[in-house]
A and B are shown apart, each in its own frame.
Chain A
């Protein structure tokens, strides 16, 4: 079968939460790259009776392309050597590429492995505008998946100057211009103000901000101000995805207070809080750690304008790679592992430390428990997305095991017994959280929910007009096994995984926005570039050059 023009996916048990379909035996019909309501009786059929049918997976937050990811790849030759990825054998002898894996696979391997997991859409979560051109080139070399990226704005010098000057409209126009010129999908804030302070903004001996009301040079520029303005900008521009926030104080004991304060600061505004697990700790710096998952998720439960992804920690190898460079310095200083820091001119930062989460380590066990608590205490699966902050909490290849932890209480309790208990005293996990996610809920937190939160109207569901991105699993009792080896993955109408094997690897599409703005802002930005930047204004961004 070459490119699927028409296909009736017949008789499977369909989970399509966006259309209220929860485990119903029915056909899904595809014509071209779209789902259609019906096909003529003679259309080709794929018999999937007894199998589970879901929309293609949607990853709302992962690190798969761009300068930071590539710095991390370069840092880890030993991981790549240990995980070779020969070219898959595609149908009809089509050309495929070899690569390497590890926590940061090469681009081609990234595309193949996501598709092999049944994921068809992935958002790269942090790209510095200066390196946007590179992120696009890497995504061009990442086959199959549709992909976009979030552009870093929370520590941007020009933006901070507009805040200091009270130029709210210009800040909005700047963000709109930047999204368009970098061909980005959403606005990302990483440790608002904290990365700027790490680089020296504000002067003094500080290396980070400690909370929402620290000032950065100007008394009116604070993390709170950055958050308020950019959340407002994303909503005012009508962006499909609200501002995507990595809060201050990531990974610090007691940071749940900052996280809650941040959520309250944006009360009533749509905002997405990413890798919430890393921001849900009780205790206090220097005085120990505890879980504060319950407090944090209860706030989320009660505030429908808030959405989150969990950023689950999974035991095993990981690589921490983030624009939150002060955090990485702390991790380097405490772990003694190799460390990359790159201060990115006028914009952002980059920090990388390879890491491993061990069951026997008290903090890692706490992090693992906090993530699971967030999942299990969440009341609205539409707003609590499955993620590991790949590769920070674990790689995307660990999603199937995470799904099993959520769906299989006996398995979870067994794993819980094996982890260090020292810091788990306040964890709801020890109270015997009995919840087991249903397949419908899994379809929500891995497909329908993230697609809706990203404003991807044609993704995450199987109604007529939806993109023909479909994943079909054998309905196995071992949910980790089931979700790690889909029987079929269909991307934009092409059968990419067939009988569990990758068979085709079409190029994916780019997801980007281009909001309108008052062109006057570009003249002011150009003046700023002429004064301080060392890249020409005309060469900035990722637009094709004539």
Chain B
């Protein structure tokens, strides 16, 4: 194909799903991803992907691979389907159909944000799409996160810099507060900052909620900065709390996720407030949405009984670790798998269909390389705030994941 530039491309490098990327294609390789951050540029790369089809490490035809995949999966007593990154919602929908047919367990990358998802199921959420934060936020509290590391354009595209209908001066219309919780620090550039000891984090959030609800907050001096912050938030016109939903170096405390939700909810008494929960890329939010509409549950679904049941305490890592799973089907890029899942997959017979499947660390019995959604293949993906966006492929020639997964589905009679 000729050299070209594809505009308005959606990047799946992180959950920001920036859709303003201009992909410059020269000699069938991506020469540049304009507007992309470093993380995005790395995600696009030059667009080259392997095109292997392998059975037991040897090159095979697609026919042979699908036959072997079907044999392996239908022969399993306890199959697991895993939705990894970089596939479209259209492909995810096919994969859920396969899990339904196989009476398999199915999980996805969305499970990485399990504490936040579970907290939202217990309490609900006070949220906003990212664009509404841009329009309205006059106070942004970065709670133990600096988005610039894992969500590089969050500030420049959404919450801070751009002007909005009620924040005409962009950054100058907003007050930024960084909350440092131990080593998890807020952005360096902030109008104010406070430090909270990790052991005090949940208590601080609860005390802040008490302040917001005009209940007694106690008189412990070490909570005074948090109390002051809570008061300040009640005086904002539209306050936003930004927190990371993905795991950090410290194991997530479910109470923390719940305390963030309930604080944001409570702030909607005296003022308006939204909690913005940062989530990773690869269209994991799409996996959450698709599983929810097809099964009623966002991750960790088990079809073993012939209908979906929810097993959030037995997600893929737990199931694999327990030795119960005897075959796995990974749909998506193996490189996006959480380390414990990838490690455990090495212990079972597996089928991998997705970008760089043949290079999977867990050495699948059947590997079918495909292109990546958003680079070689179109469809739909979700931003971290559940906004659906179209994908615009800039390269062609790679095998399509959607067609391949559909072919496997047909083999399985699903």
Contact = CB atoms under 8 A, between A and B. Distances in A.
Interface stretch (B54-62, B288-296, B330-338, B342-350): B288-296
Contacts of B295: 80, 98-100, 106
B135 interface: yes
A86 B304 CA distance: 11
A361 interface: no
Interface in B247-283: 265, 268-269, 272, 274
Mostly helix, strand, loop or mixed at chain A's interface?
A: mixed
A100 B296 contact: yes
Given A87-B306, A539-B8, A77 B19 contact: no
A352 B414 CA distance: 34
A74 B307 CA distance: 17
A21 interface: no
A2 to B, nearest CB: 18
Interface string A149-187: 000000001000000000000000000000000000000
Nearest to A531: B163
A338 B136 CA distance: 25
Contacts of B125: 340-342
A95 B126 CA distance: 39
Contacts of B124: 75, 332, 338-341, 352-353
A131 interface: yes
Contact of A199 (B117, B132, B294, B378): B132
Contact of B131 (A69, A81, A533): A533
A18 B265 CA distance: 50
B376 interface: no
Contacts of A70: 289, 292-293, 386
A84 B390 contact: no
Contacts of A477: none
A538 interface: yes
Nearest to A535: B19
Most buried by B among A73, A102, A341: A341
A235 interface: no
A439 B284 CA distance: 50
A131 B309 contact: no
Nearest to A104: B296
Interface stretch (A134-142, A259-267, A427-435, A455-463): A134-142
A129 B90 CA distance: 20
Contact of B238 (A102, A104, A200): A200
B209 interface: no
Interface stretch (B93-101, B180-188, B198-206, B357-365): B93-101
B155 interface: no
A85 B297 CA distance: 13
Interface residues on B, range: 35 or more
A77 B297 contact: yes
B34 interface: no
B134 interface: yes
B308 A106 contact: yes
B223 interface: no
Contacts of A75: 120-121, 124
B310 A345 contact: no
Contact of B380 (A137, A157, A340): A137
Given A73-B292, A534-B157, A346 B392 contact: no
Interface string A337-381: 011111111100000110000000000000000000000000000
Interface residues of A, number: 64
Contact of A74 (B121, B126, B128, B237): B121
B76 interface: no
A536 B126 contact: no
A281 interface: no
Contact of B165 (A157, A339, A342): A157
Contacts of A352: 124
Contacts of B321: none
B261 to A, nearest CB: 9
B303 interface: yes
Contacts of A119: none
A535 B292 contact: no
A107 interface: yes
B218 interface: no
Determine which residue in A65, A76, A343, A352 has the highest number of CB atoms from chain B within 10 A of its CB, and name it: A343
A41 interface: no
A519 interface: no
B380 A133 contact: yes
A545 B392 CA distance: 7
Contact of A99 (B126, B298, B308): B308
B127 A532 contact: no
A329 interface: yes
A333 B269 contact: yes
Given A85-B307, A98-B308, A352-B124, A345 B294 contact: no
B10 interface: yes
B142 interface: no
Interface in B7-38: 7-8, 10, 19-20
Given A199-B136, A545-B378, A134 B289 contact: yes
B129 A130 contact: yes
B389 interface: yes
Given A77-B121, A346-B131, A535 B296 contact: no
Nearest to A107: B293
Interface in B128-166: 128-132, 134-136, 157-158, 162-166
Given A77-B121, A80-B297, A98-B307, A539 B19 contact: yes
A67 interface: yes
B313 to A, nearest CB: 12
A539 B10 contact: yes
B215 interface: no
B265 A86 contact: no
B390 A200 contact: no
Contacts of A201: 166
B164 to A, nearest CB: 6
A367 B390 CA distance: 43
A108 interface: yes
Contacts of A65: 293
Nearest to B158: A534
A95 B390 contact: no
B388 interface: yes
A303 interface: no
A105 interface: yes
A98 B303 contact: yes
Nearest to A533: B131
Contacts of A200: 136, 166, 237-238, 272
A409 interface: no
B294 A99 contact: yes
Contacts of B129: 130, 342-345
Contact of B296 (A71, A106, A130, A340): A106
Given A86-B306, A134-B380, 19 more contacts: A77-B310, A80-B296, A80-B297, A80-B310, A81-B309, A98-B308, A99-B308, A131-B386, A133-B380, A133-B389, A134-B289, A134-B386, A137-B90, A200-B166, A340-B125, A342-B129, A532-B135, A534-B131, A545-B391
Nearest first, the 9 closest Cβ-Cβ pairs linking A and B are A345-B131, A80-B296, A100-B296, A343-B128, A545-B390, A338-B124, A84-B307, A534-B131, A98-B307
Interface of B: 7-8, 10, 19-20, 89-90, 93, 97, 100-101, 117, 120-132, 134-136, 157-158, 162-166, 237-238, 265, 268-269, 272, 274, 288-289, 292-298, 303, 305-310, 378, 380, 382, 386-392, 413-414
